[in-house]
Amino acid sequence: MDKPHMLQQPMAYDYHQCRDYLLQERGIDIENFSGCTFEVGSDNTLQSLWHWIVDTKEIHNGCYFAISTQDIFDEDAEEPEWARAPQWVKDILTIFKKEFEEPEDGYYFWVEW
């Protein structure tokens, strides 16, 4: 048996750094995309990319996760929860495509809290 070698980590964006960059440099809050005020009687609902990701992917502290915008915009995507993404998620991912280079096989993100 060969001696194990250290694993090569995938190239990934830090999710929180991307979130912070979009807020600070572009004024785009992907965790409150709708501008929800949380006021009683407000008809705004919170549109949070992070909450949508957690609802559709298996996420835990200290993990990588992938998002393929091709799947998001493809009606026949293999992962149906991604294909059913609401329009506001598609709008946020369009912003990601403009701001951050998307590798051929989709985005990889690192997240830890």
What is the pLDDT averaged over residues 75-101?
A: 80
Given the structure tokens 């506001």, which residue do they identify? 88
Global pTM value: 0.81
54 belongs to a structural domain: yes
Query: Mean pLDDT score of the chain, rounded to an integer?
Result: 85
Tell me the residue range of the domain where 54 lies: 13-27+46-111
40 belongs to a structural domain: no
Question: Over 90: is that where the pLDDT of 19 sits?
Answer: yes
8 belongs to a structural domain: no
58 belongs to a structural domain: yes
Q: Is 61 exposed, middle or buried (0-12, 13-18, 19+ CB in 10 A)?
A: exposed
6 belongs to a structural domain: no
Given the structure tokens 């096989």, which residue do they identify? 105
Q: What is the pLDDT of residue 64?
A: 94
Domain count along the chain: 1
Q: What is the pLDDT of residue 27?
A: 96
